[in-house]
Amino acid sequence: MPGTSSASELMLRYTNEVSSRIAALSAAAQAGALDAAVDLMVTALHRGGVIQAFGTGHSEAFAMEIAGRAGGLIPTNKIALRDVVLHGSLDVDSLSGSALERTTAVVDELFEISPIGADDVFIIASNSGVNGSIVGLALLAKERGHSVIAVTSLEHTHRVNPKHHSGKRLSEVADVVVDNLAPYGDATVELPDGFPVGAVSSITAAFIAQLLTIETARRIAESGGTPPLYLSANIPGGDEHNRSIEDLYRNKIRRDA
């Protein structure tokens, strides 16, 4: 069938691009590359704080991997730009397009309407690491005394100009930086006519989120504690287990649809 061979070759190339990055991230994690980030997360939880996760655009998927999912840590909170509509002063029209993602104007209100405690740690994902809301929230978190972990593409962020008025990138604000290993532009393969396709940052970021969750839970268990982990709501007893632990963090976490 015409085109079958080319299609299979592209899919194989993409699979190799993904699998090689997953393998590299795994090797780096085993060598200790994530230890500093896990230290901050474990310390926050031991102090009664929660993990505040933030990402915009497709990087919101990273925050969803950190906060509020089966097998994940319960003392986590997902901050999203739509919160300024759901809980703040902006109308729904402000969510159209990418303007809100790129502006710093939203940051102060976003911070104030979020359930943030003094002992919380922030983990912020952005492939480019240069948009106004991303850098702005990281700077505000630092100003308020919180540690910040960044998950970003170092290759991409160093090839683009910062959009925040500070002139800083997310990687230059954070206490700890985790490279998601995505290439400049995110796409990893090209169609025969040269068009790029096959983005990888969402996959590597999700893998990083799970590695951080696993190691944080392991550290808590190793120290004699019980990791506060979600069970799937779709298994018997899952809802009851989850609600009982969520009650321990009442007013510290928010679970919106």
Domain ranges of the chain: 4-249
Element at 125 (helix H, strand E) = strand 121-125
Distance between CA atoms of residues 169 and 136, nearest Å:
10
φ, ψ (nearest 5 deg) of residue 113: -90, -5
pLDDT range class, residue 158, cuts 50, 70, 90: very high
Q: What is the mean pLDDT of the chain?
A: 94
The fold of 4-249 is Rossmann fold (3.40.50)
For the cut 60, the answer to whether the pLDDT of residue 23 exceeds it is yes
pLDDT range class, residue 1, cuts 50, 70, 90: very low
Strands 187-190 and 148-152: unpaired
Strands 196-199 and 187-190: antiparallel
For the cut 70, the answer to whether the pLDDT of residue 2 exceeds it is no
Largest Cα–Cα distance in the chain? 62
- For position 257, what pLDDT does the model report? 67
| pLDDT above 70 coverage of the chain, percent | 97
Q: What is the mean pLDDT of residues 181-194?
A: 95
Residue pLDDT, tens place only, 210-233? 999 999 999 999 999 999 999 999
Between the alpha carbon of residue 150 and those of residues 6, 10, 90, 217, the distances in Å are 37, 31, 27, 20
